[in-house]
Structure 1
Amino acid sequence: MLENFNALVDGLPPALIYLIIAGLVFAEAALFFGFVFPGETAIVVGGVLASQDKLSLPLLLIISVVAAVTGDSVGYEIGRKYGTRLLETRAMSKHRAKVGKAQDLIRRRGAFAVFIGRFTALLRALMPALVGSARLPYPKFLVFNVIGGVTWVLTFTLGGYFAGEAFDHAAKLAGRGLAIGLAVAAVIALIVWSVRKHRREARDEAAENADPALEQTVSSAIPAQGGPSGGPSA
């Protein structure tokens, strides 16, 4: 598995790999790209590449943190500027149950919701814009954005790094064939778990979307653009 992946990236210069990872992490919240591709996948892969000396781990961490914090800040500004019009977009309307949950989390936890949302793929894409729409002061948002971004990048990048290190160590001890077999089995198990989780969440969201009270919550929870403040405090 890793050998095939190595063949795929061997022809790419490190600068381009850094750029791709940064772009995916940035776009997750800034362009709502997180609806289709979780940014944590990019930084886990980056960590694996760093374990193979294809990338510099310190530079990868710095680039990923900057991209994460900047992307969320752009998402915040989009939410602050466009307010409730965000809810009229196709991406938001398809996930109105999750939007309602995110808004409730913002009301209950204030700025800390930014940190909590960082570790859930869909909330990571939604939270900055919704916080901006709620007119949470940017300095408070930035504090938890930075804390969450640093923690998230360290967790998943180092996870990928140590996974790559463990694979190389297992290959030396047990033989590369056995190590690849174990890695493939682990990936299959992860895919099965991910598919089941996705189907369960889709069923739950479909049930929640059928609740008219939830739709009323989503349509009224975010203040209109230019309206009074009313965002929660940390």
Structure 2
Amino acid sequence: MMENFNALVDGLPPSLIYLLIAALVFAEAALFFGFVFPGETAIVVGGVLASQDKLSLPLLLVISVVAAVAGDSVGYEIGRRYGTRLLETRAMSKHRAKVHKAQDLIRRRGAFAVFIGRFTALLRALMPALVGSSRLPYSKFLLFNVIGGVVWVLTFTLGGFFAGEAFDHAAKLAGRGLAIGLAVAAVVALVVWSVRKHRREADEEAEVEAEEAAEEAAEGALERTRP
């Protein structure tokens, strides 16, 4: 996915790259685009491009933070307005385990759940709307939204920036062929980890759905036995 995004922005003028990164980060929670494309991929690639002097790192950080905070604020407003109807949408019903996990996190942690959820792809897409539907005051949400957005953007953008610099340094020391080989190995390891993570999440969702089905069956049997 990261390679596809890198290929997409290759050759584009910096202004369009900034706009594309901002749009992806904004849409992650505002339009639930995080179900399809994690925003962190965009800012990591942005960091790599900044290490190659194709983008300004300070400007990239500012744009990404603003887009993240604004996108989550829109997601919060959607949850506040539509509430429980939001949970009946197809996007939400397909990720029941994550929804339940997010709701439990909100009950236990309150506004701090916004910060915690920022660092998990699906929770990052779900959390603002679920917090909005829980009627948590916007002032509390905004505080942790800003803190989480700043920490998240700094972590992944600078991670991409230093990874890009490390690649260039390795290419100079060991030759570009070896550096590319190491980069490919790192990407393969990341893909394997991502696939296993998604499988684990799918298994968790399947377990939740099985438990819900069993509970519904038990309730139905109990109703039938009542006089």
- Contact 1:100-1:214 at 8 Å conserved across structures: no
Q: Deviations over 1:148-174 (max 9, x none)?
A: 000000000000000000000000000
User: What is the CA–CA distance in structure 1 between the aligned matches of 2:7 and 2:101, rounded to whole Å?
Assistant: 42
Query: How far off its partner does 1:196 sit?
Result: 1.5
Q: Which moved more, 1:168-177 or 1:186-195?
A: 186-195
Q: What's the TM-score, normalizing by structure 2? A: 0.90
- Contact 1:76-1:130 at 8 Å conserved across structures: yes
| Structure 1 pair 87–214 and aligned structure 2 pair: CA distance change class (3 A) | farther
Larger Rg over CA atoms? 2
Consecutive unaligned residues in structure 2, runs of 5 or more: 217-227
- One-letter amino acid matched to 1:75: G
- Contact 2:5-2:42 at 8 Å conserved across structures: no
- Look up the match of 1:48: 48
| Structure 1 pair 3–119 and aligned structure 2 pair: CA distance change class (3 A) | closer
The aligned runs of 1:11-160 (5 Å cut-off) are 11-160=11-160
Q: Deviations over 1:22-53 (max 9, x none)?
A: 00000000000001110000000000000000
User: What is the CA–CA distance in structure 2 between the aligned matches of 1:102 and 1:121, rounded to whole Å?
Assistant: 12
User: What is the CA–CA distance in structure 1 between the aligned matches of 2:117 and 2:195, rounded to whole Å?
Assistant: 21
- Contact 1:35-1:125 at 8 Å conserved across structures: yes
- Contact 2:6-2:45 at 8 Å conserved across structures: no
User: What is the CA–CA distance in structure 2 between the aligned matches of 1:56 and 1:203, rounded to whole Å?
Assistant: 41
- Contact 1:22-1:63 at 8 Å conserved across structures: yes
Query: How far off its partner does 1:11 sit?
Result: 2.0
Aligned to 2:53, what secondary structure does the other structure show? coil
Larger relative contact order (CA 8 Å, sep ≥ 6): 1
User: What is the CA–CA distance in structure 1 between the aligned matches of 2:113 and 2:3, rounded to whole Å?
Assistant: 40
Q: CA RMSD in A?
A: 2.1
- One-letter amino acid matched to 2:71: G
- Contact 1:208-1:214 at 8 Å conserved across structures: no
Structure 1 segments of 4 or more deviating over 6 A? 2-7, 213-216
Query: How far off its partner does 1:8 sit?
Result: 5.5
Q: What's the TM-score, normalizing by structure 1? A: 0.87
Among the aligned pairs, what percent are the same residue? 89
Q: Which moved more, 1:148-157 or 1:93-102?
A: 93-102
- Look up the match of 2:170: 170
Aligned to 2:83, what secondary structure does the other structure show? helix
Aligned to 1:187, what secondary structure does the other structure show? helix
Consecutive unaligned residues in structure 1, runs of 5 or more: 217-234
- One-letter amino acid matched to 1:129: A
The aligned runs of 1:176-215 (5 Å cut-off) are 176-212=176-212
User: What is the CA–CA distance in structure 1 between the aligned matches of 2:178 and 2:7, rounded to whole Å?
Assistant: 20
Q: Which moved more, 1:185-194 or 1:57-66?
A: 185-194
- One-letter amino acid matched to 2:197: K
